[in-house]
Amino acid sequence: MQQQSMFFKARATATLADVGLQANLRQAKGKFVDSRAQAVADYDRENEGDFEALRLAGEAIRKRVVDDLDSWLEVFEERATARGASVLWARDGQEICDLVLDIARTHGVQKVIKSKSMLSEEAGLNQALEAAGVRPVETDLGEYILQIAGNEPPSHIIAPVMHKNVDQVADLFARTHGTPRQTAIPALTREARAVLREHFVSAEMGISGANFLIAETGSAALVTNEGNGRMVSSLPKVHVVITGIEKIVPTLADFATLMRLLPRSATGQVISNYVSLLTGKARGSAEESTTAATDATDATDGPEHVYFILVDNGRVGLLGSEFQSMLACIRCGACLNHCPVYQTIGGHAYGWVYPGPMGSVLTPLLRGVEKALDLPQASTLCQQCSVVCPVRIPLPELLRKLRERQTRAGLRPRGERLAWRLWAWLAARPGCYDLATRAALRYLNWLAGGRERIEVLGIAPGWSAGRDFPAPQGKTFRQLYRQQTKPR
Amino acid sequence: MRVALFVTCLVDLLRPSIGFAAIKLLENAGCTVEVAATQTCCGQPAYNGGDRAAAIALARKTIAEFEHCQRDQGCAYLVTPSGSCADQIRNAYPALLADDPAWQSRAEHLAARAYELTDFLVTVLHVESVPGDFAGSVSYHDSCSGLRGLGIREQPRALLALVPGLTLREMPAAEECCGFGGAFSIKFGAISAAIAEKKCVNARLAAADALVGGDLGCLLNIEGKLRRMGDRHTRVLHVAEVLAGVSTADATPN
Ligand code: SF4
């Protein structure tokens, strides 16, 4: 996907005037935040206040994997291969595309049905497939809408089309499908279903992501609400799973723990509608094949060929760094849903695949700090993201560390650097600071001109474009305190 | 008991009445208050701005000042009318100085004695009365650092409940960020103001006479937005001002 993160500020500001988008964001926020709160409260009631303990357990599982990632990957590769899957490795987006195209060529594929895969977004896979004459069809309803809307990028990692409302989708469907316009959601869903059925049965290859890779069994876990993941992974003769190398969990028991966290954090569901464990190639229906059955000879359905493409695309660089904990992310989207900035501007302004707090950490780390300068700055550090993160990633701390990295690398604007230096110099010298604050006050008092508020703050126009600045009381505390305590 | 008051840079510059209100509250609870004349800023803006060196320098300065107060005046605690400065001193200082064992233990010494004002009044002093009175209703905005960094939520409310005449009317989503975020409010002014607007809409749903909070940065942001939205009557007050019975207009000694 083309990265646009350098235009964050302009794009974010533009979203503020988009009335429709703002309404959609308000609605989505209410839904996500309230649902999660309810799910957590229910869990706590039923389990005697233990959602926090669950988060600790989730963090521990992910940490165990990330601390020792190469060993776990080896285990996974060995187990998955033993079950008849091929495990391939991709260093970057280009390699993902090359591998997928190779596989498509090998199996004579003309049409690919896709379930949601963020890695495919990272790689810009759809464009690569189209360029090679292979037709990709997105089957996640949200992704499908984006595709027929002219390949719009997703604006949320689990609700990719949350920036659109029903009316917009109704227009789009009527236009694209040539059907009468309908606005009831069930009717729209049925319409998409009818269109997608055709593709499900005719495609030769399915591509999906994976929410987790289970090392113990060599399985991929798919967690969806629409069931399209099952179609994609079981109907075509070839199934390709594309996912990041960090998605490993050691055991099925660990997977169960994380599944208590993921749906509750993501959508407030106790469990998602479909949870599929896909192990190896055709051996009966995929979901049933998680037990350690070794005899695959009686298998009749499911894909004949299963490929895992495990992707680095910058992730290895985080290992052993101060940002390693970011690899624990399970892509639940809770940090987006609870972020005051994301709630206000939506996902597109972030300019790449991952928006919100997790995107503001990941994008600079995966794409280059210098290519996403605004993202780590575009946070109030309110800490709500780290409060809700199911695996307790200290997102505000990571954002702050990225800010430090920008400063160290000399990537902040000159004026800003000078201002900081001057301020820090003064703050370390009380005498000078005293004089400087008095001068600043004279300026502010002059701006206020005796009124209670300043409407145009010359030194910080960014502040006063959208709000007033309450006038200062007139003297500094230190001045007044000295007057008060010194006998006159 | 002697306590060192850390006034904070914003209060010093913009609203000294909050500092005097804090002194009044502490004295009323039986404390003797010391104010180090050399204090400036806790360094949080530099810390959040990515200037670690400046943040460390100011952390050391603040630590040394407190040690001074402790040695010369016998101050047992450092108290500050700001959740974000208290969070900085308690949680960030030890982390910032972790590479230097001597400084780290000094940081931890201070961290264990540093309190946000309402937290201190409730947790350490167990105050049962406050000097202020307030004829009217207030809503309370929870500032992020105090709330999520220090767990301050009940303390200010417990104290407000002691104010004769005051009714607390909670606003929806009182715990959501107001969009201030320090330098964020200037760097991303438009986004910040848009978040502030949501806070103001919620605040007005409470239909209270005043919005009260514990951090001046957030209060400036909220008051500035309320006024820009044309609200001239909802007062925006620091919790110390309400508890001490000094409003912004009459707090300043002259
Ligand atoms: S960082 Fe945490 S909250 Fe955000 S998507 Fe990842 S797991 Fe979820």
- Structural tokens at position B2: 């002697």
Can you give chain A as a three-state secondary structure string? Answer: CCCCHHHHHHHHHHHHCCHHHHHHHHHHHHHHHHHHHHHHHHHHHHCCCCHHHHHHHHHHHHHHHHHCHHHHHHHHHHHHHHCCCEEEEECCHHHHHHHHHHHHHHCCCCEEEECCCHHHHHHCHHHHHHHCCCEEEECCHHHHHHHHCCCCCCCCCCCCCCCCCHHHHHHHHHHHHCCCCCCCHHHHHHHHHHHHHHHHHHCCEEEECCCEEECCCCEEEEEECCCHHHHHHHCCCEEEEEEEHHHEECCHHHHHHHHHHHHHHHCCCCCCCEEEEEECCCCCCHHHHHCCCCCCCCCCCCCCEEEEEEECCCCHHHCCCCCHHHHHCCCCCHHHHCCHHHHHHCCHHHCCCCCHHHHHHHHHHHHCHHHCCCHHHCCCCCCHHHHHCCCCCCHHHHHHHHHHHHHHCCCCCHHHHHHHHHHHHHHCCHHHHHHHHHHHHHHHHHHHCCCCEECCCCCCHHHHCCCCEECCCCCCHHHHHHHHHCCC
B171 Cα: distance to centroid of ligand 1 (angstroms)? 28
pLDDT higher than 50, residue B7: yes
- Beta-carbon separation of B192 and A404 below 8 A: no
Confidence of residue A49 (pLDDT cuts 50, 70, 90): confident
Q: In a mutagenesis test of the A interface, which of B88, B177, B199, B215 is the best target, namely the one with the most A β-carbons within 10 Å?
A: B177
Question: Angle A141-148/A166-177 helices, nearest 10 degrees?
Answer: 60
pLDDT higher than 60, residue B254: no
pLDDT higher than 80, residue A215: yes
Query: What is the pLDDT at residue B205?
Result: 96
The reply to whether A7 touches chain B by the CB within 8 Å rule is no
What's the whole-number average pLDDT of chain A?
93
* Chain centroid offset of residue B110 CA: 17
Q: What topology is assigned to B136-251 in CATH?
A: Rossmann fold (3.40.50)
Query: What is the pLDDT at residue A52?
Result: 96
pLDDT higher than 80, residue B220: yes
Query: What is the pLDDT at residue A484?
Result: 86
pLDDT higher than 80, residue A293: no
Question: What's the mean pLDDT in A319-337?
Answer: 98
The reply to whether B201 touches chain A by the CB within 8 Å rule is no
User: Does the beta carbon of A128 lie inside 6 Å of ligand 1?
Assistant: no
pLDDT digits (tens, 9 = 90+) for A336-348: 999 999 999 999 9
Percent of chain B with pLDDT over 70: 97
pLDDT higher than 90, residue A485: no
Query: What is the pLDDT at residue A82?
Result: 96
Query: What is the pLDDT at residue A48?
Result: 74
**Residue A83: closest CA among A257, A252, A256, A280:** A280
- Residue A302 CA to residue A284 CA, distance in Å, equals 7
Q: Which residues contact A487 (CB under 8 A, 6 or more apart)?
A: none
Query: What is the pLDDT at residue A292?
Result: 44
Predicted TM-score (pTM) above 0.80: yes
Closest atom, ligand 1, to C-alpha of A333: 5
What does B79-107 look like in DSSP terms, one character per residue? EES-HHHHHIIIIIHHHHTTT-HHHHHHH
- Structural tokens at position B115: 């309190």
**Residue A385: closest CA among A456, A329, A308, A461:** A329
Contact B123, B86 (CB under 8 A): no
Query: What is the pLDDT at residue A144?
Result: 96
Contact B194, A472 (CB under 8 A): no
Query: What is the pLDDT at residue A294?
Result: 46
pLDDT digits (tens, 9 = 90+) for B61-106: 999 999 999 999 999 999 999 999 999 999 999 999 999 999 999 9
- Beta-carbon separation of A12 and B191 below 8 A: yes
Question: Angle B216-228/B189-205 helices, nearest 10 degrees?
Answer: 80
Report A:217-256 residues touching B (Cβ under 8 A): none
Query: What is the pLDDT at residue A141?
Result: 96
Query: What is the pLDDT at residue A297?
Result: 43
**Domains in chain A: ranges and CATH:** 4-164+204-311 (3.40.50.10420), 419-485 (no CATH)
Residues of B in contact with A345 (CB under 8 A): 191
Query: What is the pLDDT at residue A75?
Result: 98
What does B105-151 look like in DSSP terms, one character per residue? HHHHHHHTTEEEHHHIIIIIS-----S---SEEEEEEPPHIIIIIH-
- Residue A352 CA to residue A3 CA, distance in Å, equals 5
ipTM summary value: 0.95
Question: What's the mean pLDDT in B35-64?
Answer: 96
Query: What is the amino acid identity at position A237?
Result: K
Query: What is the amino acid identity at position B128?
Result: E
* DSSP H/E element including B3: strand B2-5
Tokens 């105090």 label which residue? B146
A353 Cα: distance to centroid of ligand 1 (angstroms)? 14
pLDDT digits (tens, 9 = 90+) for A436-468: 999 999 999 999 999 999 999 988 889 999 999
Question: What's the mean pLDDT in A257-262?
Answer: 97
Q: In this complex, which of A345, A464, A480 lies closest to B252 when CB atoms are compared?
A: A480
Query: What is the pLDDT at residue A299?
Result: 53
The alpha-carbon gap from B36 to the nearest alpha carbon of chain A, in Å, equals: 10
Q: Which residues contact A277 (CB under 8 A, 6 or more apart)?
A: A214, A217, A219, A220, A221, A286, A287, A289, A290
Query: What is the pLDDT at residue A134?
Result: 98
pLDDT digits (tens, 9 = 90+) for B124-136: 999 999 999 999 9
A162 Cα: distance to centroid of ligand 1 (angstroms)? 18
Query: What is the pLDDT at residue A487?
Result: 59
pLDDT higher than 80, residue A122: yes
The alpha-carbon gap from B238 to the nearest alpha carbon of chain A, in Å, equals: 13
pLDDT higher than 80, residue B249: no
Confidence of residue A1 (pLDDT cuts 50, 70, 90): confident
Which has more confidence, A2 or A338? A338
Query: What is the pLDDT at residue B247?
Result: 66
Confidence of residue A30 (pLDDT cuts 50, 70, 90): confident
Q: In a mutagenesis test of the B interface, which of A8, A381, A398 is the best target, namely the one with the most B β-carbons within 10 Å?
A: A381
Query: What is the pLDDT at residue B253?
Result: 38
pLDDT higher than 80, residue A486: no
Question: What's the mean pLDDT in A348-353?
Answer: 96
- A277 forms beta bridges with A221
What's the whole-number average pLDDT of chain B?
95
